Amino acid sequence: MSHIHKSFDRRDFLRATVGTTVAIAAASVTGASATSAAAAAPSSLSIPKDRIGIQLYSIRDKVSALGFGVVLPELARIGYKEIEFAGYTQSTSVLGRQITLPEIRKLLDDHGLRAVGSHVGIGNLRTNLQAELDAAQILGMPHVGTANAPSNVNTVAGYRAAADEFNIWGAAATARGLKLYQHNHAGEFAFATDQPSVRLYDVFLKNTDPRHVYLELDIYWAYVGQYRWPGFDPAAYVRNQPYRYPLFHMKDGDANAANANGFDIVEFGAGDLPYERFVRDIGPRASHVGIWEQDTAPNTAPNPPGSLGAAERSFTALKGLLG
């Protein structure tokens, strides 16, 4: 496919960690944005352009090596507003010890950032739920969720049992003023092994209590699911139950017939997923925080800026999409 390339000014930044000064060069090098991202978006979007978020898994290498004290100020400079966590740790070499949740919260507050959610292991929800809810409240986040599939038993009964479990966890989160969410990959859109006409995602959606269980739609993986198990429209899920989808993962994919998933993960704006159509087709009801994620961003060259360069270019492309 052909891409439109944009150049960004080269910048250097120096950020201090708590108790440690780390000098890194973070440059925004030439990036790409697709025609769809550059085109004008509809005027009444339900994805606010002033609340663009980032899943920290995208820049996990920088979080680990440089620490939250360097990374969070840089994300604020780029323009991100919402932070979705993928763990609360960094290299102990940064501070000589592990950072604490109150220290992370102070960094968020000091730089005008908001914790919007967190991916925790489904095992933690099963065995350590109240501690995970405690962490969410310390960080001030309204949502806490998991990126695990609801169940590894891909039958109707398996997904119904998982829904029952999520309903219990969700009720506990609601009691603490929080929203529990599940983040999809492609496999949830497969058909049940025991009922090949029944889509697993539909079983989960139907059997979870909308008062207590919410969904974070990973748009890339939903389109992979459509490619592998056709017969549904990702936007229709949101359009039909808009208030169940407070969060989106907005990652881009470039079509590749040689990939079993149909797409390669790329920087936002460098792919050809139909984002302009998606944001129009979900309708104007409710509000969905758009969170950038790119699983492959730590492999970005040159490094520096590496994954931070991908983060900046993707933010610019997302901003262009949302107008």
pLDDT of residue 181: 99
Residue 288 scores a pLDDT above 60: yes
Tokens of residue 233, six digits: 């429209």
Tokens of residue 45, six digits: 């979007």
* Segment 110-116 mean pLDDT: 98
Q: What is the pTM of this model?
A: 0.87
* Rounded CA separation 238/286 (Å): 10
pLDDT of residue 57: 98
Q: How far apart are the first and last CA of the chain?
A: 23
pLDDT of residue 3: 34
pLDDT of residue 44: 74
Sequence-ordered list of residues with C-beta below 8 angstroms from that of 128, at least 6 positions apart, any chain? none
* Segment 43-65 mean pLDDT: 94
> Which position has the higher pLDDT, 40 or 140?
140
Residue 80 scores a pLDDT above 70: yes
Q: Are strands 114-118 and 82-85 parallel, antiparallel or unpaired?
A: parallel
pLDDT of residue 35: 34
Least confident of 27-41, 80-94, 284-298: 27-41
Q: pLDDT (tens digit, 9 = 90+) per residue, 158-210?
A: 999 999 999 999 999 999 999 999 999 999 999 999 999 999 999 999 999 99
Query: Would you tell me the crossing angle of helices 68-78 and 101-110 to the nearest 10 degrees?
Result: 30
Closest CA to 192 of 153, 166, 222: 153
SS3 for 115-176, per residue? EEEEECCHHHHHHCHHHHHHHHHHHCCCEEEECCCCCCCCCHHHHHHHHHHHHHHHHHHHHC
